[in-house]
Amino acid sequence: MSLPLPVTPNSSALPLDPRTYARGLSCVHCGLCLPACPTYTQTLNEADSPRGRIQLMLGLADGIIEPSESAKHHLDLCLDCRACETACPSGVVYHELIEETRAKLLKNANPTFTDRVMRWMFFNIFVYPTRLKLVLLPARLMQKIGLYQLLRKIGVFKILPAQMRKMEQMLPSTGSLWARKLPAKTDPDLRAHPQTPVSEGTPEDPDPSPSSSKKLTVAFFPGCIGSVMFEDVNRKAVELLSLCGTTVLAPPTNVCCGAIHHHGGAHKRAEDFARQNIDAYLSKDGPIPDYITTTIAGCGAMLKDYEFLLRDDPDYRDRAKLFASKVRDISQVLLELGLPKPTHAINQRVTYHDACHLAHAQRVTAEPRKLLAQIPGLEIVALPESEICCGAAGTYNLEHPKMATDLAERKLRNIESTGAAICVTGNVGCAMHIQSEAEAHGKQVRVVHPVELLHKALCSR
């Protein structure tokens, strides 16, 4: 009987956490993820599909596949939209695999100068609202006097590298010079109807039930980019929550949710942000909110992942679980609390795009549609391929502008087919991406958040 030959460890292997590796082993290669994957449906390349990428990642972990530029390209091209998780009958938690593998690959990456500049901006500007406002101030001033539109018209920005050109294109054409912070506390609106009483809930049973007359407290998470680019949406969301009869808290010590760092492979910094937010929203000395909510699908998905992110931290593990149990999208909270009956009709045809991190990461699809259906006069037309990613995907559209633009054009064709002049979506990244591509192609499409239409129907402004 011969003994097995010893296996020489491959120094280029990218070993994964055993729990993450097990996620890949649960894939049965059935292929049901293929039509759900935006990149596969664009390229029809198996290496750009979820099951193909899983095999790449397991091969890299085992040292069977070299971390070549080709392998890295196929993994980088993934949007991490998580549509494959919705489609998967085996329950593969794909995003844990792609995020950990990317972090491993980054250690040996050789980025270009432009890549380094973009990554520095992502980590050092985008996630800090005050810095972002300072950087945007010159552009906002030029917008106010009409100079910025002139620079765009004569093509000054076309000399920029593709990634920076895409970033410039995404700047909304209107916005305040200096976005204001939300008030730390907003009291219930006295005009609000009596709210449905609910119980406090627990980490084991986080869904409140109507069993007590306790007044609700909702903690609002403004986001970093969202608080600057879509300040008005956040302010209107707080007003709607107040109309529901709740006290709304916006802790001034909140920080970035950590999504940009986590998806960019800087997991330690993402964990630090998570701890800071847990301390801000679940203060040991202050009140524990009944809900933690946000208008930004990407932030909401990240906040719900705090339990996973800090699972090995004995000091924060239990509090992270409690925090995650309280996170709800704004549509869920407004629907559960019950808004006053809208009195102002909006006689418009609209269509609804499912933001990936709302539909696939949080499995929230019905609630926004139910809220919109309450608005008198509003005609809601189903959007073909509503659940297919628009190409925004956090910072993806800045890192992979070609694929992002192709997906946006696909989304715009579907929006046009509905005959709707307004596209509604629950994520600021989707809104900025789709709107900017519509303007670049001369399409008469306006992209809005559900909160904006609800606020108009209730407050007529």
Q: Where are the domains of the chain?
A: 18-106, 113-169, 185-336, 341-459
Average pLDDT score over residue span 78-106: 96
pLDDT tens digits along 427-439: 999 999 999 999 9
Residues with Cβ within 8 Å of 357's Cβ and at least 6 positions away in sequence, in order, are 81, 82, 297, 298, 300, 301, 427
Torsion of CA 409, 412, 414, 420, to 10 degrees: -170
Average pLDDT of the chain to the nearest whole number: 92
pLDDT digits (tens, 9 = 90+) for 17-76: 999 999 999 999 999 999 999 999 999 999 999 999 999 999 999 999 999 999 999 999
- What is the model's pLDDT at position 195? 44
Whether 353 shows a pLDDT value over 70: the answer reads yes
Counting residues of the chain whose pLDDT is more than 70, the rounded percentage is: 92
CATH architecture of 341-459: 3-Layer(aba) Sandwich (3.40)
Architecture (CATH level 2) of domain 185-336:
Up-down Bundle (1.20)
Mean pLDDT of 180-192: 88
CB atoms within 10 A of CB 183: 14
Whether the predicted pLDDT of 196 surpasses 50: no
Q: What is the mean pLDDT of residues 123-139?
A: 96
- Residue 198: pLDDT over 50: no
What pLDDT does residue 110 have?
84
pLDDT, one tens digit per residue, over 406-454 is 999 999 999 999 999 999 999 999 999 999 999 999 999 999 999 999 9
The pLDDT, as a whole number, for residue 10 is: 62
* Alpha carbon distance 277, 323 (integer Å): 9
Query: Given a cut of 80, is residue 332 above it in pLDDT?
Result: yes
pTM over 0.85: yes
Position 192 scores a pLDDT of 56
Mean pLDDT over 80-106 rounds to 96
| For residue 194, pLDDT beyond 60 | no
Choose the CATH number for 18-106 among 3.30.70.360, 2.60.40.10, 1.10.1060.10, 3.20.20.70. 1.10.1060.10
pLDDT level of residue 140 (50, 70, 90 thresholds): very high
Asked if pLDDT for residue 403 goes beyond 90, the answer is yes
Q: How high is the pLDDT of residue 108?
A: 79
Q: What is the pLDDT of residue 109?
A: 81
- Residue 58 is predicted with a pLDDT of 97
Question: Does the pLDDT at position 200 exceed 80?
Answer: no
pLDDT in tens, 240-293: 999 999 999 999 999 999 999 999 999 999 999 999 999 999 998 878 999 999
